[in-house]
Amino acid sequence: MIFKNLSELSDSDLNQMLSRGKGLADVGSAVDAILENVKTNGDTAILEYAKQFDKADLKTLAVTPAETEEAIASLDPTLMKHLRQAAENIRRFHAAQLPKEIWYIEETPGIVLGQKTIPLSKVGCYVPGGRASYPSTVLMTALPAKVAGVSEVIVCTPARADGTVHPLTLAACRIAGVDKIFKTGGAQAIAAMAYGTESIPQVDKIVGPGNVFVTYAKMKVREEVEIDFPAGPSEVLIIADDFADPKMTASDILAQAEHDPNSVSVLVTPSEKFAKATMSEVEKQTETAKRKEIIEASLKNSAILLTKNMDECIEFSNKFGPEHLQIMVDPQIEDSVLNQIQNAGSVFVGNYAPVPAGDYASGTNHVLPTSGYVRMYSGLNTAHFLKSFTIQRISKEGLSEIKDAVIDLAETEGLFEHAEAIRKRFDE
């Protein structure tokens, strides 16, 4: 883990930190081959990849209702209660995001303008299943789609070696109202949802996080299907001062680090005392961590950076553009810091707002752009599952108000029939 003054970072270290996770070209040829194979051979290719990558010898891809019932019956009722609690918070928050279905304005007499918003017809949710089970990702992707009114939501997730899907994932699918579940992961799952196979339907949009293979595949299939945004290895940036607790901050760094060896955790602080105390806690807590090997690999990508002042922390954070941003500062300056943030996927304010709260149960969405893509993308929300078209109701009186402007502009652009389409409506 890098421990340096921000001003002492080498250009190489800084560039590596800012360009994290963008080496998609490294997997390009492998993913291109998978996409083409699935496009050409459909289910046959998917079943072959299940055997090759997941060590699962599948006969069919669809999860049956009986499998889901059996999975739910095997779970602790208390765990199911907590899954439902998280789902209700997520559903409530995303319902609050819904725009008006239709609206109109009439700023010029005789010209009524409006917009109607409708849900997409079919959405595919990708749910990772490699190092862990991610029922929370089911809730974060499928629930907003259902809240938005999407009529068919499917989930693709890798099978385990015994050919089953983790019971928690299936339970989350039931709670979220998922219509169909398929046992496939990786780039091949993205290809299946983009092109369609004998078993898996082609969708209008694919959402959900994944590794670099999944991210590259999503970017590649955009000619066939829309996607949410690039969402690769998880990351957090923490802005903190002496008000923060080093033990809490260190645990937040480890919580992010245990996701993936490629995860990134960065602390920026103007306090050298706090920085050293946090570094000591990181080392101490890593020794007893259950996912120590993954954490140690991730910490090699991570850093504690000392700044001259809080302004420098904020400036670096905006340049970094973190997926998750924690602000753990004196409450008197919390709002000031927050108001200066321009680039972040999701912001957590205060010592008692750790990222795991948003990962699971507070209600906000944990599917967020990574690798600095927050500069141009918003985190997953109900708007991702909606589309809009505009409406114009124009009377002759209304058209007369803009007639001269339309004719003048059309002829200036050399589109004379455009102008005539207006003139003819006023011919005697």
Instruction: Check: CB of residue 176 under 8 Å from CB of residue 138.
Output: yes
Enumerate long-range contacts of 149-152, CB under 8 Å, 24 or more apart.
149/118, 149/119, 149/385, 150/119, 150/120, 150/121, 150/122, 150/123, 150/385, 151/119, 151/121, 151/122, 152/121, 152/122, 152/123, 152/179, 152/180, 152/201
384 located within any domain: no
Based on the domain organization, do 203 and 121 belong to the same domain?
A: yes
Based on the domain organization, do 196 and 52 belong to the same domain?
A: yes
A 10 A CB-CB count for 332 gives 8
379 located within any domain: no
**pLDDT in single tens digits along all 428 residues of the chain:** 999 999 998 888 887 777 775 566 788 899 999 999 999 999 999 999 999 999 999 999 999 999 999 999 999 999 999 999 999 999 999 999 999 999 999 999 999 999 999 999 999 999 998 556 889 999 999 999 999 999 999 999 999 999 999 999 999 999 999 999 999 999 999 999 999 999 999 999 999 998 889 999 999 999 999 999 988 788 999 999 999 999 999 999 999 999 888 899 999 999 999 999 999 999 999 999 999 999 999 999 899 999 999 999 999 999 999 999 999 999 999 999 999 999 999 999 999 999 999 999 999 999 999 989 999 999 999 999 999 999 999 999 999 999 999 999 999 999 999 999 999 999 97
Q: Say how far apart CA 206 and CA 88 lie, in whole Å.
A: 23
Given 94, 166, 324, 366, which residue is catalytic?
324
Residue 227 three-state SS:
strand
Q: Which residues pair with 156 in a beta bridge?
A: 126, 182
- How many structural domains compose the chain? 3
Of 212, 227, 242, which closes a domain?
Answer: 227
DSSP 323: S
pTM of the predicted structure, to 2 decimals: 0.92
Based on the domain organization, do 78 and 101 belong to the same domain?
A: yes
Of 366, 384, 408, which closes a domain?
Answer: 366
pLDDT of residue 252: 98
Specify binding-site residues for substrate. Answer: 234, 256, 259, 324, 359, 413, 418
A 10 A CB-CB count for 228 gives 25
Specify binding-site residues for NAD(+). Answer: 126, 188, 211
- For 188, residues 6+ apart whose C-beta sits below 8 A from its C-beta are 34, 37, 38, 45, 46, 49, 53
Of 346, 366, 386, which closes a domain?
Answer: 366
Based on the domain organization, do 86 and 193 belong to the same domain?
A: yes
Report residue 268 as tokens.
């920026």
- For 281, residues 6+ apart whose C-beta sits below 8 A from its C-beta are 246, 247, 249, 250, 251
Q: Say how far apart CA 167 and CA 181 lie, in whole Å.
A: 12
Based on the domain organization, do 166 and 193 belong to the same domain?
A: yes
Based on the domain organization, do 351 and 283 belong to the same domain?
A: yes
Based on the domain organization, do 196 and 306 belong to the same domain?
A: no
pLDDT of residue 17: 77
Instruction: Check: CB of residue 45 under 8 Å from CB of residue 58.
Output: no
Q: Please state the separation of Cα 14 from the chain's center in Å.
A: 25
Based on the domain organization, do 147 and 216 belong to the same domain?
A: yes
Sheet of strand 152-157: strand arrangement: 180-183, 152-157, 122-126, 205-207, 226-227
Indicate the length of the chain as a whole number.
Answer: 428
9 located within any domain: no
User: Within 13 Å and on the Cβ side, how many CA atoms surround 1?
Assistant: 27
276 located within any domain: yes
pLDDT of residue 327: 98
Helix (H) or strand (E) holding 262: none
Q: Say how far apart CA 292 and CA 305 lie, in whole Å.
A: 23
130 located within any domain: yes
388 located within any domain: no
Angle of CA points 280, 350, 132, to nearest 5°: 65
pLDDT of residue 97: 97
pLDDT of residue 51: 96
pLDDT of residue 114: 98
56 located within any domain: yes
Per the annotation, the verdict on 384 as an active-site residue is no
Range of the domain at 158: 24-227
Q: Is 201 left (phi over 0), alpha (psi -120 to 50) or beta?
A: beta
Based on the domain organization, do 42 and 160 belong to the same domain?
A: yes
Q: What is the largest CA-CA distance in the chain?
A: 88
Based on the domain organization, do 100 and 146 belong to the same domain?
A: yes
Given 166, 235, 323, 366, which residue is catalytic?
323
14 located within any domain: no
Based on the domain organization, do 179 and 198 belong to the same domain?
A: yes
Based on the domain organization, do 35 and 93 belong to the same domain?
A: yes
Write the CATH number for 149: 3.40.50.1980
Q: Please state the separation of Cα 403 from the chain's center in Å.
A: 45
Specify binding-site residues for Zn(2+). Answer: 256, 259, 359, 418
Per the annotation, the verdict on 324 as an active-site residue is yes
